[in-house]
């Protein structure tokens, strides 16, 4: 029985064991808290480096030097969206919604396009309104339209100023 009494004293008198377990629980909580803080810092760094910074780099337009323009790449000047009634080709009129962009040789000509925007839009609208929906639904019709716009708009700009014509939107209805 004496052995039982000593065992009871060891179990109940084990204040050091309960304090030790409290310290180990507290140590575990501190370690976990430290790990969570480190994990959050690493996650924040990764988000900034791989998500935010690339999006900022895309948002900033790169400044082009005159040498880059002379290397064959022109400057794009938009004529804005246009909606035109096409020439009668059937029982109901066809409509065309189009966005035309001009590639010009340099910044000077791009500024000239901006200043003469109403005149150039008028040329394009008159050219478009002379087409039928059937003509513009084929690839050959679109290429012919592009060539016609190149000729007519190119005649109003300085020699060699217009490099190409692009359609960014085109809907025939």
Q: DSSP of 84-108, one letter per residue?
A: EEPPP-SSS--EEEEEEEEEESSHH
Cα–chain-centroid distance for residue 95? 29
pLDDT in tens, 90-105: 678 888 999 999 999 8
Range of the domain at 8: 2-58
Clarify whether residues 108 and 168 are in a common domain: yes
User: Which residue did the predictor score with more confidence, 1 or 115?
Assistant: 115
pLDDT in tens, 8-66: 444 444 444 555 566 677 778 888 999 999 999 999 999 988 888 887 776 545 444 44
Give domain status of residue 43, yes or no: yes
Distances (CA, A) of 169 to 37, 44, 114: 50, 40, 20
Q: What are 153's two structure tokens?
A: 């708009």
- List the CATH number of the domain containing 79: 3.30.479.30
Name the band, by pLDDT with cuts 50, 70 and 90, for residue 89: low
Kindly state the percentage of the chain with pLDDT values over 90. 46
Give domain status of residue 135, yes or no: yes
Note the pTM of the prediction, 2 decimals. 0.57
What's the number of domains the chain is made of?
2
Clarify whether residues 165 and 100 are in a common domain: yes
Clarify whether residues 20 and 45 are in a common domain: yes
Q: What's the number of CA atoms in the CB half-sphere (13 Å) around residue 138?
A: 7
Give domain status of residue 64, yes or no: no
Clarify whether residues 81 and 163 are in a common domain: yes
Clarify whether residues 53 and 82 are in a common domain: no
Q: Taking 90 as the threshold, does the pLDDT of residue 121 lie above it?
A: yes
Name the band, by pLDDT with cuts 50, 70 and 90, for residue 67: very low
Clarify whether residues 22 and 104 are in a common domain: no
Q: Taking 90 as the threshold, does the pLDDT of residue 118 lie above it?
A: yes
């Amino acid at each position: 029985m004496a052995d039982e009494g000593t065992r009871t004293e060891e179990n109940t008198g084990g204040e050091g064991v309960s304090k030790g377990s409290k310290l180990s629980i507290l140590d575990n909580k501190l370690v976990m808290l430290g790990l969570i803080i480190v994990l959050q810092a690493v996650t924040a760094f990764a988000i900034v480096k791989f998500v935010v910074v690339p999006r900022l780099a895309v948002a900033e337009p790169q400044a082009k030097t005159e040498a880059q323009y002379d290397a064959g790449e022109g400057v794009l000047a938009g004529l804005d969206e246009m909606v035109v009634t096409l020439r009668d080709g059937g029982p109901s009129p066809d409509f065309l919604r189009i966005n035309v962009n001009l590639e010009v040789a340099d910044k000077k000509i791009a500024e000239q396009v901006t200043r003469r925007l109403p005149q150039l839009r008028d040329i394009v609208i008159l050219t478009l309104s002379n087409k039928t929906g059937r003509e513009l639904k084929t690839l050959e019709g679109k290429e012919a339209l592009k060539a016609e716009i190149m000729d007519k708009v190119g005649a109003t700009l300085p020699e060699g100023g217009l490099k190409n014509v692009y359609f960014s939107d085109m809907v025939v209805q």
